[in-house]
Amino acid sequence: MQDIKKLLDSEVCNRNNNCELSYDKPDPLLVASRYKDEYAILLCALFGYGKASLIVKFLDSLDFTLLTQNEKIIDKELNNYYYRFQNSIDIKMIFKTFRRLKQIDSLNNIFFDAYKKENNILEGIDALIEIIYKVANYNSQGFTFLVSNRLKRDKTQTIKYIGNAPYKRWNMFLRWMVRSDNLDLGLWEKIDKKDLLIPLDTHTFKVSQKLKLLNRKTYDLMSVVQLTNKLKEFDKTDPVKYDFALYRIGQEKLM
């Protein structure tokens, strides 16, 4: 396992820098990193599914200043927009919802209030998803896919690891916002990076299995927790620093 750590530490040194973000190596962080607005950055994360080049192309087409405009302007400007599972109504509604939320509170405050009780990242994610649906007062298949369902809980109201999705885009957003280096933005200072969970996508999942970092075959939240705990053996204070390296190894088919 020391050989794996050495490999990953080397990849982190090579990958965790802004040279990795370009139109030749597209990633939604390429667009997100241009902004300081947490709501714009979250939109970049939530639309971060599918082929990377198409994600960046779509994000480049969005006018994030609409988050400060009135809703009639949002309706007009986004009238013909769509992205994969989201039609124009879904896209208008997420912009309107975030516009309304911006006037209520910051994402950071909402997240931290839920997270701080037990330093639980998942409670913070669930709180954000809950308030998005509450403020939106809207639902559709595309909107639900974009925002994600609320996390499933057991009879004691504890969030379940088995039966929940990996919540990759939410954990990616948190990596961007909490970690601070040449790659990640570090705009949220009250969250401890040791509590972050790996943003598990299919590339990271397969590479982690090949490297024997993960022995589960199910792509779910339990795999996220197990892989994060394994990476804590390499760096207990910053396990998610390995995320981008694992992702690029898989994306570039280096294994």
Query: Can you tell me the mean pLDDT for 137-146?
Result: 97
State yes or no: pLDDT of 254 exceeds 80. Answer: no
Overall average pLDDT of the 201-225 stretch: 95
Grouping H, G, I as helix, E, B as strand and the rest as coil, residue 153 is strand
Cβ partners under 8 Å of residue 121, min gap 6: 115, 171, 174, 191, 195, 196, 197
3-state secondary structure 18-52: HHHCCCCCCCHHHHHCCCCCHHHHHHHHHCCCCCH
Region 240-255 average pLDDT: 86
Q: Give the three-state DSSP class for 92.
A: helix
Of 81-85, 199-203, 251-255, the one with minimum mean pLDDT is 251-255
Cβ atoms of residues 180 and 186 within 8 Å? yes
Calculate mean pLDDT across residues 203-208. 94
Quick one: average pLDDT of 124-144? 97
Q: Comparing 174 with 253, which gets the higher pLDDT?
A: 174
Distance between CA 176 and CA 112 in Å, rounded? 16
pLDDT > 90 in the chain, percent: 85
Q: Which DSSP letter does residue 79 get?
A: T
- What is residue 255's predicted lDDT score, i.e. its pLDDT? 67
**8 Å CB contact between 241 and 16:** yes
Model pLDDT for residues 142-152, shown as the tens digit of each residue? 999 999 999 99
Average pLDDT taken over every residue of the chain: 95
Domain ranges of the chain: 2-251
Residue 137 DSSP one-character state: -
Query: What pLDDT digit, counting tens, does each position of 87-115 carry?
Result: 999 999 999 999 999 999 999 999 999 99
pLDDT at position 20, please? 80
Q: Would you place residue 15 in the very low, low, confident or very high pLDDT band (cuts 50, 70, 90)? A: confident
